Chain A
Amino acid sequence: MSITSKRNVIIIGNGMVGHHLVEQLVENGALSQMNVTVFGEERHRAYDRVHLSEYFKGRDAEALALCDADYYASHGVTFNSSEAVISIDRAAKTLATEHGHYAYDHLVLATGSYPFVPPIPGNDREGCLVYRTLDDLDAIREAAQSAATGVVVGGGLLGLEAANALRGLNLETAVIEFAPRLMPMQVDSEGGELLREKIEALGVQVLTERATQRIEDGAASRHRMVFQDDKILETDLIVFSAGIRPRDQLARECGLEIGERGGVVINDQCQTSDPAILAIGEVALWNQSIFGLVAPGYQMAKTALSTLTGGDASFTGADMSTKLKLLGVDVGSIGDAHGTQNPGARMFRYLDPLTQIYRKMVVSSDGKKLLGAMLVGDNSVYDTLLQYYANGIELPKEPASLILPQSGAAPALGPDALPETAMICSCHNVTKASICAAIDAGASDLASVKGDTRASTGCGGCASLLKSVVDHELAARGVEVDKSICEHFQHTRQELYDIVRVEGIKTFSELIEKHGAPSTHHLGCDICKPAVGSILASCFNEPITDAAHIPLQDTNDTFMANMQKNGTYSVVPRIAGGEITPDKLVVLGQVAQKYGLYSKITGGQRIDLFGARLEDLPDIWGELIEAGFETGHAYGKSLRTVKSCVGSTWCRYGVQDSVGMAIKLENRYKGLRAPHKIKFGVSGCTRECAEAQSKDIGIIATENGWNLYVCGNGGMRPRHAELFATDLDDEALYRTIDRFLMFYVRTADRLQRTSVWRENLEGGLEYLKEVILNDSLGMGDELERQMQTVVDNYQCEWAGAISDPDKLKRFRSYVNDSRPDPSIIMTSERGQLRPA
């Protein structure tokens, strides 16, 4: 029978590399020749260990998983999780697990490595843990609950990552390193010193040259660590991160060749001393080296695929250059970073003690080639240096220029200077040539290049380089980046805005009839409809609940509430400036109790009530409006909050009434529809307790008035606001903000925050000052007038909706049945409801 005549290939270990091999087998059609079985000791299917720490930041096992739950089954691969292989019988070509024996024709060892725990008496005490698997992290989280302090033993890469995790779990954290400096493998003593300073500044204690002798009961904490000099340190929790060791025990026991210091010896085809058995990933020892990174493991997996399918690919070693952010500190290491492997090499060093940046280059004796580099504190030159190193590009005449601070344009190695062979993504082995090939084969944007080549889908370190190469190659092929907002309009948002204003168009249907692309059905889509809805609102400010506008809105705007992941909505009344009366607080509490709403103080100084059912929204808002609340537009691309500090009214340092100003501003601009949401902050003095400099509009009180900052952003890509005007009086402040915001509303792209708009604005801040402060375009009056119209036409959308039976009809769970959606199920946690 053809099925049984297929070869049996068994992969031991379902880590990153073992999984990559399965993917390679699937993608290359190899499964037609073989039955593949995978054994994984962990209970989870393969997950992204490189980003393991994100587990503590809310990415759960499902989000870290490297494939969908049904991936193996749907490709006919047998996957046994929680089933460790116990022994291998090479003569019989079988292996054993606790559940049975399995025959193989080929075996692949992908068992990875385990964290090394130094043989210190007491290292097995409760609360002594390691940092490698999801289960390890669960154990750390659990132990941290009853701990106040934590220690990481080992100041290498992973040790610092573990220290960051402990810090994130609110433990007072210390790192203990045996060597005289942190990260001894990657940095030299100068870099190590700088790194120490930076990390200590974050509140993590760093103890170097410490060898732990024993761990015993502590007096004040759970454990006491005793060092070689009898000094002691007490702590509640210990994480060992003193290096990794290959999991070569299975291989050892069945007599495969093992390296002196561990690791299963492999040849260039990834075969062990038994050609029927291959080894890949961190368990494999190639040319006396273990590669503790994922990219070389992936290359071994590709080689293994070739070996298993009769190809002749070879593994020829891998570059161990790395770039990382540890505890928020950039660290980069390229090639021979210490300069120890190249006698005669010359060193260039740059150290800036003020900004705490250290850069070192190791250059060949003739000054022409980069052999290695080391960066601490700033990785901005990493990509450029790596390209010089990896591609043997000749260095500029003054190599030092590469690491010296730049006053003008940085001499980054432009994508056109890279040779075709330049490795762009080392995780997936993607060169510049393969990117060009993908583009020539039809990929026309970054997303499709990523999809076709898988570049930048591994560790992600190459993302910015990839983007610049793709942009450059597209431009070189004359591909004009299509700025059309979507298939329905061949216009940008800005062009649509001008059309609406000039022609006085008041509805979407009129706009699409006159200006829509002819090839479509003129229904629009979820891109152009909300964008046009926002433009119409900022021009005319008609209620968004009017029949003509309803179909334009996303559900959030339609129901004037943010939809949550289980289909319920949130309710966020406006609490201008963050000031609220006790009476109103009581009402919020009562409404939350009555409708079973989860209550939370938001990051925007107001109160969010979550879990409201569609059909309850009008009643909830009825009660809130009755008590004097109005909508907070938490759902709209519009003014969100004006955060304030307590200011001169109460604070001993305050020089102006920041709360009063915040309330005035919030009431002035509430309801303004914009390309994206807008946030303000007002601080009463330069101590800046309202964090105004992280807002779109930031205002800081001075002795003489107000300083205005613009275009700040928190969120995904934080940006400091820039000082725009100083010592404004109240009236001048309103006028300037009126003009600024209207200019933004008119000219920004859809979903462009002020920060991104500003960065794309030709002429930059100076141009903006010319237009707004010096009225260089002569449109100041018009912008102010237009803003005044919006302000004058403000009405609370919720008040409008609950007094209109036609609008209320929409707030029904079902048009033909009054029951609530029975599939919304809540459970209780910390005394409140949340989605089950």
Chain B
Amino acid sequence: MTATAVKQATVTQSRQAPTGHKLCSKTDLVAFSGVAAWLETPQGPTQVALFYLPGFERELYAIDHHDPFSNANVIAHGIVGDIKGAAVVASPIYKQHFRLEDGQCVEDDSVTLATWKVSFKEADVWIEG
């Protein structure tokens, strides 16, 4: 199946998570790369990709771990980079790029990944609705 054939334009903006709670600790993160975390939301469980860019203006991002083009949970395992000024991750399967900031797919306007607000609270990573 080709990448375009299976893509579904699921546009879910910033899904609701219960207000602020600890997701994992800072030592679980890998600098300039991603890890996956499990998240319970009022809509059911979901999987989040966390990216850590130490030293950058915004250091921490949380974005949907699910890749809509391959239907596999793999986004955390993509390569991080910047394209046309925005931090992005490239899906490891069919290589589409998603902006970490707002989940927008660079190659396809109709596809956006969910994103969450995340921050450091001392040594912990906090996620918010």
Contact = CB atoms under 8 A, between A and B. Distances in A.
Interface of A: 60, 62-63, 65, 68-69, 487-488, 520-526, 529-530, 547, 550-556, 558-559, 563, 565-567, 809-810, 812-817, 819, 821, 823-824
Contact of B1 (A60, A521, A552, A567): A60
A814 B82 contact: no
Contacts of A565: 70, 72, 93
Contacts of A551: 30-33, 79-80
B30 A816 contact: no
A525 B81 CA distance: 4
B113 interface: no
Given A555-B92, A565-B72, A823-B73, A550 B78 contact: no
B10 to A, nearest CB: 12
B2 A523 contact: no
Interface stretch (B12-20, B83-91, B114-122): B83-91
Contacts of B72: 565-567, 823-824
Contacts of A556: 92
Interface of B: 1-2, 4-7, 23-24, 28-33, 35-38, 47, 50, 53, 56, 70-74, 77-85, 87-88, 90, 92-93, 95, 97
Nearest to A815: B28
B36 A814 contact: yes
A824 B47 CA distance: 13
Contacts of A522: 82
B79 A530 contact: yes
A486 to B, nearest CB: 9
30 contacts: A68-B5, A487-B83, A488-B81, A521-B82, A522-B82, A523-B82, A524-B81, A524-B82, A525-B81, A525-B82, A525-B83, A525-B90, A526-B90, A529-B79, A530-B79, A551-B31, A551-B79, A563-B77, A563-B92, A566-B71, A814-B36, A814-B37, A814-B47, A815-B28, A815-B29, A815-B35, A816-B38, A817-B38, A821-B73, A823-B73
A521 B37 contact: no
B36 A813 contact: yes
A521 B86 CA distance: 8
Nearest to A527: B81
Cβ-closest 8 pairs across A and B = A525-B81, A567-B72, A551-B32, A817-B38, A815-B28, A526-B90, A555-B92, A555-B77
Given A63-B1, A63-B2, A816-B38, A809 B28 contact: yes
A753 to B, nearest CB: 19
Nearest to B4: A68
| A contact patch SS | loop
B93 A529 contact: no
Nearest to B28: A815
A558 B82 contact: no
Contact of A567 (B33, B74, B81): B74
Contact of A563 (B2, B88, B93): B93
Contacts of A555: 74, 77-79, 92
Given A567-B74, A815-B36, A816-B37, A62 B1 contact: yes
A813 B66 CA distance: 13
A814 B92 contact: no
Nearest to B95: A526
Nearest to A63: B2
A559 B34 CA distance: 12
B18 to A, nearest CB: 15
A555 B5 CA distance: 23
A554 B77 CA distance: 8
Nearest to A522: B82
A186 to B, nearest CB: 32
Contacts of A525: 79, 81-83, 88, 90
Nearest to A530: B79
A611 to B, nearest CB: 13
Given A551-B31, A809-B28, A816-B37, A526 B78 contact: yes
Contact of A526 (B32, B38, B56, B81): B81
A555 B72 CA distance: 14
A521 B33 contact: no
A809 B50 CA distance: 15
Contacts of A819: 38
A554 B92 contact: yes
A823 B74 CA distance: 11
B93 A810 contact: no
Contact of A523 (B50, B53, B92): B53
A488 B7 CA distance: 29
Nearest to B36: A814
B113 to A, nearest CB: 16
A809 B32 CA distance: 15
Given A65-B5, A525-B90, A563-B92, A550 B36 contact: no
Nearest to A69: B5
Contacts of B38: 814, 816-817, 819
A816 B23 contact: yes
A795 B24 CA distance: 33
B4 A567 contact: no
A499 to B, nearest CB: 20
Contact of B33 (A487, A558, A817, A821): A558
A757 B2 CA distance: 29
Given A523-B53, A525-B90, A567-B73, 17 more contacts: A63-B1, A63-B5, A68-B7, A525-B81, A526-B95, A526-B97, A547-B31, A554-B79, A555-B77, A555-B79, A563-B74, A567-B74, A567-B93, A810-B30, A814-B36, A814-B47, A821-B73
Nearest to A814: B38
A551 B5 CA distance: 30
Nearest to A547: B31
B81 A815 contact: no
A819 B40 CA distance: 13
Contacts of B4: 68
Contacts of B87: 521, 523
Nearest to B40: A817
A813 B7 CA distance: 24
A526 B106 CA distance: 14
A570 to B, nearest CB: 14
Contacts of A68: 4-5, 7
A814 B32 CA distance: 17
Contacts of B31: 547, 551
Contacts of A567: 70, 72-74, 93
B33 A815 contact: no
Given A551-B31, A555-B77, A816-B24, A521 B85 contact: yes
A290 to B, nearest CB: 32
Contacts of A63: 1-2, 5
Nearest to A818: B38
Nearest to B81: A525
Contacts of A554: 79, 92
Q: Looking at B31, B72, B88, which has the most chain A CB atoms within 10 Å of its CB?
A: B72
A50 B73 CA distance: 35
Contacts of B7: 68
A62 B2 CA distance: 8
A563 B91 CA distance: 11
